[in-house]
Amino acid sequence: GVSKPCVHSLSTLLDTPTLSVHLVDVKSETTAHLLLHSLCWSSSSCKVLLHFVNQSGMKTSVSAMEGESLLEVVINKNLQIDGFGACEGTLACSTCHLIFEDGVYEKMEPMADEEMDMLDLAYGLTKLSRLGCQVTVERWMDGMTVRVPQEVKDRREKPEAEI
Amino acid sequence: LQVVMQLFLTVCWLLPYSLATCGLFSRRLSSASGPGPKVCIVGGGPAGFYTAQHLLKARDDMVVDVYERLPVPFGLVRFGVAPDHPEVKNVINTFTQTAQHERCYFYGNVNVGTDVSVEELRKAYHAVVLSYGAEANRSMRVSGEGLAGVFSARDFVGWYNGLPSNKELQPHLNCETVVILGQGNVALDVARILLSPLDLLKKTDITQHALDTLAASRVRRVLIVGRRGPLQIACTIKEVREMINLPDTAADMLPADFESISEALKDLPRPRKRLTELMMKTVKTESGQHKANKSWGFRFLRSPLEVLPGPDGKRVAGIRLAVNKLEGSGEDAKAVPTGQTEDLECGMVISSIGYKSLPIDPCVPFDPRSAIVPNNMGRVKDTAGLYCSGWVKRGPTGVIATTMNDSFDTARMLLKDMDSGMLNLSVNKPGGQEITALLKERGVRAVSFPEWEKINLEEVRRGTAVGKPREKFLDVKDMLAVAWS
Ligand SMILES: Cc1cc2nc3c(=O)[nH]c(=O)nc-3n(C[C@H](O)[C@H](O)[C@H](O)COP(=O)(O)OP(=O)(O)OC[C@H]3O[C@@H](n4cnc5c(N)ncnc54)[C@H](O)[C@@H]3O)c2cc1C
Ligand SMILES: NC(=O)c1ccc[n+]([C@@H]2O[C@H](COP(=O)([O-])OP(=O)(O)OC[C@H]3O[C@@H](n4cnc5c(N)ncnc54)[C@H](OP(=O)(O)O)[C@@H]3O)[C@@H](O)[C@H]2O)c1
């Protein structure tokens, strides 16, 4: 049946009190898709549905504006990704590192040397890595999933004696 | 309807906050002895602020106080990061948000270990996090290190960035050749500042006295000397690219240094491979071209043996280097002396072989060999309730993002200990109230965050007058005068 998209409120960003972001429940993705596409008719720039998987593996879906950078999407939608975008999109760090799907990665605009220079310092660098501040949302990206590199799970505690 | 309700609730939520930030409500929550957990952070650099940020976000009953030795916050972001890298300093915006948080309080001008002991802080708070960085430097341990014209990169950087303790450094840049020892990013920062056109530096927040000295500089050649080879170089590609792109400055490399490494290239991980390829490309395109007025270059497989004095016996005139060969390969290759030596003529030596942490208080464990506070994932060894983050935890390497991740790790560990009961939260702690009283008794007056903001405004005002983003105060006295005006 047609279920209404659920509204989630995210926990507070640092000192900004809850600005509720209306996210679409993962289960009702298809419905959301339909809703988003109908939005395209009324607004000049198109909304694009994106799925983010955060450090702990949790998936969140948001509707982004065509032309926004992925860093802007994360900030504007108040996605809870710790420490994301420390240099505020000026290509001076690698904290907005994102991992893309095979097939999507190849279709993106090629990387500038400057982006690769910073990306080379990123944790968990993969062949499908980009910096979120350098990737612009385009219509064809509708439905894509991007991943934040997972927290390293196997950095286990050393027993006291080993210090 | 749901949406409308949500909006209404959000507004209700926001209201008291915006009023509080307008200053209508007192923000001195840290001094109120509420029942929540109270954490104290020693050091207001990236490690301190990122640890605070994570703690504040994780629990809405947590109060976090940050104690900083200087009247001004942000540690090496203010006093380390090069003036021509303003983008890097954007992290200050996030730190400022943290400091302005309802449950965070900043106490500048408080020297922990002198004005208040770590033991006293541990009594007043449920937990103490040491994030006091690395305020000394490794020494070359060679003779001649005390000659005039020999500096540590830490002091040199502190001088051009306005660190109060380095304001009297007065390096004379009246020589042609400068030798920098060490090939990390700090070495490249120093080289770049020495060779950059003045017109570029003028528009940065570099201190005026440094600008004046650089305007009179005769330095035309900077050699950056490493003990190992091109494949072990510690700096990163962005910084090498900046060197290559310096106007009117040629790269002066020795092609022989790169001859034997091309076959190793294909097996390298991407970052190392790209860095090496960039250097090799530079050797090809630049060697033999010396039209530029200034030059810089890497010299490899050389360790300092002795700084050589000139005829007066007081000033540096050169450096004697041991010629090394590599044992092993890759990142872990070791430099071994061959027995040969080589002398380089130069009028200034800057040693950039790393920073170093110092012990803060006799009651805090310190490992003199690795110069860090010994810890297990941020828990200080044998000392319940004491934690560490940043350079004092890991040693003096890593960019701000590295420091951020390791600070989040420490915060997670602390939160876990609160949840598990390892940290006893059932007793109320007086927190900042008790420490403020102690400091008052001792005649120490702290600088609050709004007081720092007064200093900030004044620095920006002074900068605007001369076309710079800010003109820093060099004197603690002057900072305090503005803070308390
Ligand atoms: C020259 C230089 C340039 C750099 N440039 C960059 C760059 O461009 N990009 C990048 O990503 N990283 C850069 N880094 C690395 C970055 O600065 C570090 O990763 C980071 O600053 C480490 O943070 P920290 O908080 O551990 O130490 P610090 O930044 O040193 O902060 C420690 C703070 O503790 C305070 N403190 C010390 N003792 C006491 C005491 N007894 N009581 C109270 N407070 C005390 C200090 O005053 C200081 O504010 C640079 C480092 C250096 C040295
Ligand atoms: N723009 C930036 O992003 C930026 C700018 C500045 C600093 N930083 C970061 O801050 C950290 C500190 O930088 P750093 O340059 O001080 O440290 P670093 O990167 O660790 O470099 C230290 C250099 O000194 C050499 N060295 C150490 N001990 C020596 C000895 N006894 N004799 C001779 N050489 C010796 C090292 O050689 P070996 O490799 O052989 O040990 C290395 O070349 C780094 O992580 C750096 O990336 C970043």
Task: Write out pLDDT tens, residues B321-375.
Answer: 999 999 998 999 999 999 999 999 999 999 999 999 999 999 999 999 999 999 9
pLDDT at B107: 98
- B234-260 average pLDDT score: 95
Q: Which of B131, B98, B17 is nearest to A83 (CA)?
A: B98
The pLDDT confidence band at residue B264, using thresholds 50, 70 and 90, is confident
Q: DSSP class of residue B86?
A: G
Alpha helix positions (H), B80-179: 91-99, 118-124, 153-160
B398 lines ligand 2 (CB under 6 A): yes
Question: Mean pLDDT in chain A?
Answer: 75
* DSSP H or E run through B63: strand B63-67
Locate the domains of chain B by residue range: 30-135+357-447, 137-351
Which position has the token pair 């409308």?
B4
* Count of helix runs (H) and strand runs (E) in chain A: 3, 5
pLDDT tens-digit series, residues A107-131: 999 999 999 999 999 988 999 999 9
- A123 has a chain B CB within 8 A of its CB: yes
Q: Which of A75, A43, A49 is nearest to A141 (CA)?
A: A49
Kindly state which CATH superfamily the domain A47-147 is placed in: Beta-grasp domain (3.10.20.30)
Q: Give the Cβ contact number of residue A102 at 10 Å.
A: 8
pLDDT at B138: 96
CA A44 centroid distance within chain: 23
Spatial distance between the Cα atoms of B414 and B385, rounded to a whole number of angstroms: 8
| Res. A156: pLDDT tops 80 | no
Burial category of B291 from C-beta neighbours within 10 Å (exposed 0-12, middle 13-18, buried 19 and up): exposed
User: Closest approach of chain B CAs to the CA of A18, in angstroms?
Assistant: 6
Could you give the angle at the alpha carbon of B51 between the alpha carbons of B385 and B110, nearest 5°? 75
Query: Is B185 annotated as ligand-binding?
Result: yes
Q: DSSP readout, B221-262?
A: EEEEE-SS-GGG--S-HHHHHHHHT-TTEEE---THHHHTTT
Q: How far does residue B303's CA lie from ligand 2's centre (Å)?
A: 14
pLDDT at B431: 96
Query: Can you name the residues that pair with B302 across neighbouring β-strands?
Result: B323
Locate the domains of chain A by residue range: 47-147
Looking only at the bridges linking them, the beta strands covering B150-152 and B348-351 are parallel
pLDDT at B11: 42
| Res. B199: pLDDT tops 50 | yes
pTM: 0.89
User: Closest approach of chain B CAs to the CA of A90, in angstroms?
Assistant: 6
pLDDT tens-digit series, residues A138-152: 999 999 999 999 765
| Res. A105: pLDDT tops 80 | yes
- B277 has a chain A CB within 8 A of its CB: no
The pLDDT confidence band at residue B284, using thresholds 50, 70 and 90, is confident
Contact residues for B138 (Cβ-Cβ < 8 A; gap 6+):
B353, B354, B355, B356
| Res. A10: pLDDT tops 60 | no
Q: At what angle do helices B237-244 and B185-195 cross, to 10 degrees?
A: 20
| Res. A162: pLDDT tops 70 | no
Q: Which of B10, B28, B38, B42 is nearest to B393 (CA)?
A: B42
Confirm if B239 and B193 have CB atoms less than 8 A apart.
Answer: no
pLDDT at A33: 53
Q: Which of B461, B475, B472 is nearest to B77 (CA)?
A: B472
pLDDT at A36: 52
| Res. B424: pLDDT tops 90 | yes
Record the tokens describing residue B430, joined without a space: 């007086």
pLDDT tens-digit series, residues B265-282: 989 999 999 999 999 999
pLDDT at B485: 94
Contact residues for A141 (Cβ-Cβ < 8 A; gap 6+):
A48, A50, A104
Which position has the token pair 């954490």?
B39
pLDDT at B1: 43
pLDDT at A152: 54
Residue type, B293: N
Q: Which of B345, B343, B379 is nearest to B364 (CA)?
A: B379
Looking only at the bridges linking them, the beta strands covering B355-356 and B334-345 are unpaired
* CATH among 3.30.460.20, 3.40.50.1980, 3.40.50.720, 3.40.50.300 for B30-135+357-447: 3.40.50.720
pLDDT at A45: 65
pLDDT at A134: 97
* Count of helix runs (H) and strand runs (E) in chain B: 17, 18
Beta strands in B311-465 (DSSP E): 316-327, 334-345, 348-351, 355-356, 375-376, 379-380, 386-388
Pocket test for ligand 1, best of B53, B65, B81 (most atoms within 8 A of CB): B81
- B396-420 average pLDDT score: 96
Query: Can you name the residues that pair with B128 across neighbouring β-strands?
Result: B40, B386
Confirm if A69 and A134 have CB atoms less than 8 A apart.
Answer: yes
pLDDT at A151: 66
Spatial distance between the Cα atoms of B105 and B32, rounded to a whole number of angstroms: 12
| Res. B57: pLDDT tops 90 | yes
The pLDDT confidence band at residue B35, using thresholds 50, 70 and 90, is confident
Q: At what angle do helices B208-215 and B153-160 cross, to 10 degrees?
A: 110
pLDDT at B482: 98
The pLDDT confidence band at residue A82, using thresholds 50, 70 and 90, is confident
pLDDT at A30: 52
Going by alpha carbons, the residue nearest to atom 4 of ligand 1 is B81
The SS3 assignment for A62 reads strand
User: Closest approach of chain B CAs to the CA of A100, in angstroms?
Assistant: 18
- B316-325 average pLDDT score: 98
The pLDDT confidence band at residue B475, using thresholds 50, 70 and 90, is very high
pLDDT at A55: 86
Contact residues for B57 (Cβ-Cβ < 8 A; gap 6+):
A12, A13, A14
Q: Which residues of B315-344 are buried (b: 16+ CB within 10 A; e: fewer)?
A: bbbbbbbbebebeeeeeeeebeeeeeeeeb
Residue of B93, B376, B383 to mutate when probing chain A, most A C-beta within 10 A: B376
A146 vs A9 pLDDT, higher one: A146
Candidate from A15, A113, A163 with C-beta closest to B381: A163
The pLDDT confidence band at residue B10, using thresholds 50, 70 and 90, is very low
The pLDDT confidence band at residue B289, using thresholds 50, 70 and 90, is low
Which of A39-43, A75-79, A113-117, B87-91 is the least confident region?
A39-43
| Res. A32: pLDDT tops 80 | no
- B282 has a chain A CB within 8 A of its CB: no
Question: Mean pLDDT in chain B?
Answer: 93
Residue type, B217: S
Spatial distance between the Cα atoms of A91 and B42, rounded to a whole number of angstroms: 30
Record the tokens describing residue B66, joined without a space: 């940050």
Contact residues for B412 (Cβ-Cβ < 8 A; gap 6+):
B54
| Res. A51: pLDDT tops 70 | yes
Q: At what angle do helices B46-58 and B91-99 cross, to 10 degrees?
A: 50
A53 vs B31 pLDDT, higher one: A53
Query: Is B463 annotated as ligand-binding?
Result: no
Kindly state which CATH superfamily the domain B137-351 is placed in: FAD/NAD(P)-binding domain (3.50.50.60)
Record the tokens describing residue A153, joined without a space: 């799970």
| Res. B48: pLDDT tops 90 | yes
Whole-number Cα distances in Å, B219 to B167, B223, B250, B357 = 21, 11, 14, 31
pLDDT at B69: 98
Contact check, Cβ <8 Å, A94/B401: yes
